[in-house]
Amino acid sequence: MKKGTFKLQAVLDLRRTQERAAAVAASRAAAAATDADLRATGYETSLATAGMPSSSSSGDFLARMAMLRLAASDASDARAAATASAEQAEAVRAQWTAAAQRTKGMERLRDRHQEAAQHAEAVAEERAVDDLVTGRAGRAAPEEVPWTP
């Protein structure tokens, strides 16, 4: 491996993929929850606008009451499904949040690694410059040795 590479890059890529998949799942779950809520609201609205039977016939009255009872049951079931769908969407959103936190942690680790590599490179460069300067200073002022013929 080349010096300075982040050895856990494959793990970071996997975490990013998991986060994207969780985001898609959260989006789909939220859309499903919205649809279920709209459906339940529709049932509730149609039930609320349905009037009491005005027919004087007992058969018509019983049939109309049975239809209203069925509509109320449908509205209740739809609201229960909407609530369950909303809870599911919240759970999926929590999974997305957890995936994002894992990704963020790995990104911070990568950033620290890059900072450490840059710091090590800067220190090495500084040492090289210091060695160069120190070497020149040593060559520029040689000790005076008395010369004797």
Average pLDDT over residues 7-35: 94
Residues constituting the chain: 149
Q: What is the DSSP letter of 52?
A: P
Q: Determine the Cα–Cα distance for residues 38 and 31; give it in Å rounded to an integer.
A: 11
Q: Determine the Cα–Cα distance for residues 44 and 75; give it in Å rounded to an integer.
A: 5
- Sequence ranges of the domains in the chain: 9-102
Q: Determine the Cα–Cα distance for residues 108 and 100; give it in Å rounded to an integer.
A: 12
Q: Which residue has the tokens 């090590």?
A: 120
The better pLDDT of the pair 49, 25 is held by 25
3-state class percentages of the chain: helix first, strand second, coil last, to nearest 5: 85, 0, 15
Q: Which residue has the tokens 């620290």?
A: 112
* Percent of residues, the chain, with pLDDT higher than 90: 58
Question: What are the tens digits of pLDDT across the range 77-121?
Answer: 999 999 999 999 999 999 999 999 999 999 999 999 999 999 999
Q: Determine the Cα–Cα distance for residues 57 and 46; give it in Å rounded to an integer.
A: 24
What is the CB neighbour count within 10 angstroms for residue 45? 11
